[in-house]
Structure 1
């Protein structure tokens, strides 16, 4: 297993709050040729811009231990089911990834996808968190649909288990944040990691999408990490109280 598949930041407290970031890095491992430009690797199609910085601050300033993927989503998308057609994306937001045409799917699953999820499962079993934060970011405008408005500052995604998300939506709203309820995506369709590691285990979670222009700088990352940590603490208290 490559040591670049995942990394931990901070110390996770048993029964506490932890953060997971599936798209933290735009790193392409040696030996994989995607056939895309350096500019493409800096775009939202390669990683979740700003999400790693938010997780770093959650861990180092707010005591929320984090688990981050260290492989670009263009190599293998950890936030998809293992048999999903877009696990190794050939075309993403209208951008062709020619190196993924005919790619060795089994090798990428074995080398990156399976170790990432196996170690995430092991870590969560050891920590037994009271609340999981799944941290993502979204682009203000899609390359394939630039005129579609995406006004939300933050979105909460969920599938069947909405007990934590409902509290978070209310609390973010009370802070004056423009918050999306299963927007800009629906957690009914895009919730693979939390379906597997949270819902299937009965663990409360908040899958959080932050608009990436808000966290493109260190100042923005620090601000939103503080907001998220505050809300997450109150969400956990609410969930603990009513369980």
Structure 2
């Protein structure tokens, strides 16, 4: 067991589920200088992502790698030189403990082991496919007037092969789907750019609206909808 990630081994299908922001965990020796209540909010964790990822791994019979620490400790879905790798502000909240933190130490402890594990698992697959699982808040505190009506978003950078398969299927399942919404994968797609697009590996990047996956019923519903969609993408592209 690594503190950098949780490795869920639920079967041998050549499909890897990746959830960068699955955990709100902050190690005891790291002081972010924030109200602990913030660790239950979207700035600290992608609400629902861990449970949906585990449900899908069991349903599909595949592997899942879940980020092991809060995105406030280090954001695993950022490039190594990105300013937000150790965030000092998030949706209007200051993270004072990161101002003088050592990025190199956090990267060696969490970032590199996480991404090395993903790379190793993909290298062991004959025809890999990746499902990237994230969730988004329906309302930003820093921009409360911004409407976010989508129930699920599909994100990608240059490779939209899986998106074109998934979007009509998700719409047919009754979901309000955002294509490159609530934000564009062309702007924020670091983990998939690194492990999928740079290596020609097909992938599907999804963002679930957090109020819809905040309880067990919602998590089971989304896993049930996503399972057949992911399998269809995998069967056509892997």
How far 1:31 moved relative to its partner? 0.8
Out of 215, 224, 227, which is 1:229 matched to? 227
Aligned to 1:176: 174
Q: TM-score, normalised by structure 2?
A: 0.96
Q: Distance in 2 between matches of 1:228 and 1:203?
A: 19
Aligned length: 238
Q: Distance in 2 between matches of 1:98 and 1:129?
A: 44
Q: Distance in 2 between matches of 1:128 and 1:182?
A: 29
Out of 74, 77, 99, which is 1:79 matched to? 77
> What does 1:1-243 align with in structure 2 at a 5 Å threshold?
3-14=2-13, 16-239=14-237
Q: Distance in 2 between matches of 1:25 and 1:203?
A: 25
Structure 1 residue ranges, 4+ long, deviating more than 3 angstroms after superposition = none
Q: Which runs of 5+ in 1 are unaligned?
A: none
8 Å Cα contact 1:9-1:56 kept in structure 2: yes
Q: Which runs of 5+ in 2 are unaligned?
A: none
Q: Distance in 2 between matches of 1:64 and 1:214?
A: 24
For residue 36 of structure 2, give the secondary structure of its aligned residue in structure 1: coil
8 Å Cα contact 2:155-2:181 kept in structure 1: yes
Q: Distance in 1 between matches of 2:111 and 2:221?
A: 31
**Over aligned residues, Cα RMSD in angstroms?**
1.3
How far 1:129 moved relative to its partner? 4.7
Q: TM-score, normalised by structure 1?
A: 0.94
